[in-house]
A and B are shown apart, each in its own frame.
Chain A
Amino acid sequence: MAETLLEVRHLNAFYRNRGRRQQILHDVSFTIHEGEVLGLVGESGCGKTTLSRAILGINREIDGEILHHGGQPRMVFQDPASSLNPAWTVGRLLEEPLRNAGVPKQERLARAIEMLDLVGLDSASYERRPGGLSGGQRQRVGIAAAIIGQPKLVIADEPVSALDVTIQAQILDLFMRLRKELGLSYLFISHDMDVIWQISDTVMVMENGRIVETGPRDDVFRDPQHPYTKKLLDAAL
């Protein structure tokens, strides 16, 4: 049985708004094993993003346990325009995680060029700013920056929703290729059932902060148990 990378036990998460504490996540538990892609599907406002921020330690208003066995996971954001620092060059963005880990300058440069090539960008974009790239290229930079520190688990929060259909397909292929080549595991979040079907091994359905159904992809899609999952499948075109 592959090593478990992430264990989440009875997680409750809250959102503090002007003193009032609103509970967003209710008793969420799941595990991710090495090499596994866990697809999380749910509509906007169901707590998907709160979950990803809780796992990454950005949101501390939580109780319950989050056990990282595979080191600090990295994140790929939905909107490539706002997740990359507009004032920095692509090269410096890629080297940032290595710089924080104390990797020497020369080696950082080599690894950055290597990463650009791996995600299908030519090394000339090293000097360019995110502003000068297309949506698809920017998302490739986002992915490169996430995996350059060789994390075992990458959390992708709606990584393709903001892209055009043809570009979306290319980025999904990239995610699947990187998974095979680098043995990465993903927590892949999307509201699009078809995208989830294409990339996930196991699927988790979330409604209003609760996990309503979990299971291998084909079981969940072929004979969904929970009415909400059925509703999502019927609504998907």
Chain B
Amino acid sequence: MKRRNWTLRIGGCVAAVMVALILLGTVWTPYDPNALAGAEKSMAPCLAHLFGTDNFGRDLFSRVLEGGRTSLLIAFCTVAIGGVCGTVIGSLTGYFGGLVDEVLMRFNDSVSAFPNILLALVCVSIFGTGKYKIILVLGVLFIPSFARIVRGEFARERSRDYVENARIMGAGPFRVMFAHILPNVKTVLLSSVAIGFNNAVLAEAGMSFLSMGVQPPDASLGRMLAEAQGSLFTMPWYALSTGCFMVLLILGFSLLGQGLQEQEREL
């Protein structure tokens, strides 16, 4: 009877709850996120307003759900772009090796000398801000890290006996890569996707916090935190609620990623 993998279970639940909440937010929110209710300005969290209200009387819980939606969307697309391209590049260079692999590895090393956010800020300063630009910028910037992980996995599996056996049995290179090797590296890829998702959420939040990411009227957790920091004295709950929501989202996916890695070791 396999030891119960608690990390995977808790991570899975927390992540699922948070994503469900955000998806629910797309359809229904307790209040209209942008409605100004003058009477209920700067209220502390209470039953009516779970996260309280800001100085314009807007319900913070609804705004956090809306902000979460943008962060989720950006993180999801970033991981999609970075993950898919990274996996393709990584698997090809990892499996075939040779000059291309060497050159890309050197390039990958020098690019990783730049912190992601720094590069993102520079790109944004060139291409401008806005949701879709951020997705493109972060997506492209995440390709090297994914490529590096996938390359490592494929290079390791390529030299193992069962891969050589598959080639002797007449399997073509692509069949070997996707039918033979992929099932054995699946969990490592999934866990790096979960971790990539977190990094994307953090990167977007960081940039929006510096007002270099998502611009109004789009809401984003990062922007809300920036606004909340302004009124830390009067409404501390604004920053705490937004921040904790984001931490829970990240906690869920990082536990999920780690749980998958532990799953891998037990296989």
Contacts and interface: CB of A to CB of B under 8 A. Distances in A.
A–B direct touch in complex (beta carbons closer than 8 A)? yes
Interface of A: 53, 56-58, 72, 74-75, 77, 79, 82-88, 96-97, 100-101, 131, 145, 149
Nearest to B165: A83
B169 A149 contact: yes
A105 to B, nearest CB: 16
Given A87-B183, A87-B184, A82 B168 contact: no
B267 A86 contact: yes
B180 A53 contact: no
Interface residues of B, number: 17
B32 interface: no
Given A82-B160, A96-B171, 4 more contacts: A56-B164, A75-B164, A85-B162, A100-B169
Given A86-B267, A87-B184, A88-B183, A53 B164 contact: yes
Contacts of A82: 160-162
Given A82-B161, A86-B184, A86-B267, A101 B168 contact: no
A84 B168 contact: no
A85 B167 contact: no
A100 B166 CA distance: 10
Contacts of A53: 164
Interface of A, helix, strand, loop or mixed by DSSP? loop
Contact of B180 (A57, A58, A85, A149): A85
B170 A58 contact: no
B161 A96 contact: no
B267 A77 contact: no
A74 to B, nearest CB: 6
Contacts of A72: 168, 170
Nearest to A78: B161
Contact of B169 (A57, A79, A86, A97): A97
A51 to B, nearest CB: 14
B171 A77 contact: no
Given A77-B161, A79-B161, A85 B168 contact: no
Contacts of B168: 56-58, 72, 74-75
Nearest to B163: A85
Nearest to A85: B162
A150 to B, nearest CB: 13
A85 B160 CA distance: 10
Contacts of B175: 100
Contacts of B170: 72, 97, 100-101
Interface string B146-177: 00000000000000111011111111000100
